[in-house]
Amino acid sequence: MSAVTATKDRGWIIALIPLGTLVLFFVAPMAYMAAVSVFKNDPAAFFKPAFVLDNYAKFFAPFYYSISLRSFVQAGLGAGIVTLLGFFTVLFVSDQSRWLQRFWVILLLSLLCLSEVVIAFALLILFSQSSGIPKLLAWLTLWDNPRSLYPSFGAMMAGYVMLGFSIATLMLFPQVSRRDRAIEEAAQGLGTAPALLFLRVTLPMFRTALLAAFITLFVYFLGVFVMPTMLGGPQNWNMTVIIQDRAVERFNMPLGAALAMIMLALTAVLAALLLWLNRQQRAEDA
């Protein structure tokens, strides 16, 4: 009894490690960023400690909010596509034999080790007129004047898909592979058409898991830098790219920090909203 109490009392010592890590690597840099975001930028020299809201006000210039809207649309679209693609893949894989399932999981895990840069370069080669798909189509005499397929929105989305695919599938796999197939079988037995079965039975069963995967990918895609810059054009550059331009290229750390803080807040609000909607829906279902 006393031994248990003693362990309990000393539990906080163990908690100090994650807490310390959190403070050191997350809270402290965040606090610094928040502080810098209200500093005054001196365009000819350097930023100075101050408390001004100029940097935040700039967000409301048409240029910045249109870029932020673009970031959300691109990330949302990418996350949606990847989540759905991942879901179909997992449905397919979970019906395979144990061995094949293992093979797929190992393959998807190993895909995770590819960095954004490696994926972008691989796609550059695949989409380039001198070595990839356009050249193949020209060789097959299907394309007279082959041109590179990047920079383009489509090439960038292909990058998003490759980047997020294994994350989505690995997040969905445990739940989908352990699902109770009796429900689907019962619906099928009652004569539900396959499309309807998917929409009304299978999809709602995993709504929470799909939403979790979607939000994870959405937040992840908001921060991508290489895909928009290497595979996309100026029309596709997101807030991450613009923040890097301001903070690093233009030495305007306060503006970069303020833009980052706004994006962070908007992302948190959006994610919270999605989770709240999901909870409402679940309450309704019950």
Partner 1 sequence: MNTKFFAAAAAALSFAAAPIAHSEELTISAWGGFFEETLAEVVYPGFTEATGIKVNSIPQPADQAWLTQIANAARAKQAPADLSLVTETVVLRGQNASLWAELDTAAMANTGALIDGVYAEMDGKTNAVPALAFFDTFVTNTDFSADAPMSWAELWTGDWDGKLALRPNSNSGLLEITAVTFFGGYEIMQTRDGLQQVIDKIAELKPSVSLWYRDEGQFQQGLEAGEYTAGTYYHDVAMLSIWDGLPIASTFPKEGGIKSTAYWVAPAASKHTEAAQKFIDYMSQPEVQEAMALNLGIFPVVPRETMNLSDDDFAAVGSDIAPIKLQTEIHLEEGEWLEERFQSMLSN
Interface residues toward partner 1, by CB under 8 A: 42-46, 61, 63, 124, 128-131, 147-148, 151, 229-230, 233-235, 237, 242, 245-253, 255
**Least gap, CB of 35 to partner 1 (angstroms):** 14
Least distance CB 129 / partner 1 (angstroms): 6
Nearer to partner 1, 128 or 175 (CB): 128
Residue closest to 201 by CA, chosen among 83, 76, 82, 91: 91
Tell me which amino acid residue 162 is: M
Q: Which is nearer to partner 1, 1 or 44 (CB)?
A: 44
Least separation in angstroms between CB 112 and partner 1 = 24
CB of 139 to partner 1, least distance (A): 16
Cβ distance to partner 1 smaller for residue 128 or 278: 128
Nearer to partner 1, 90 or 246 (CB): 246
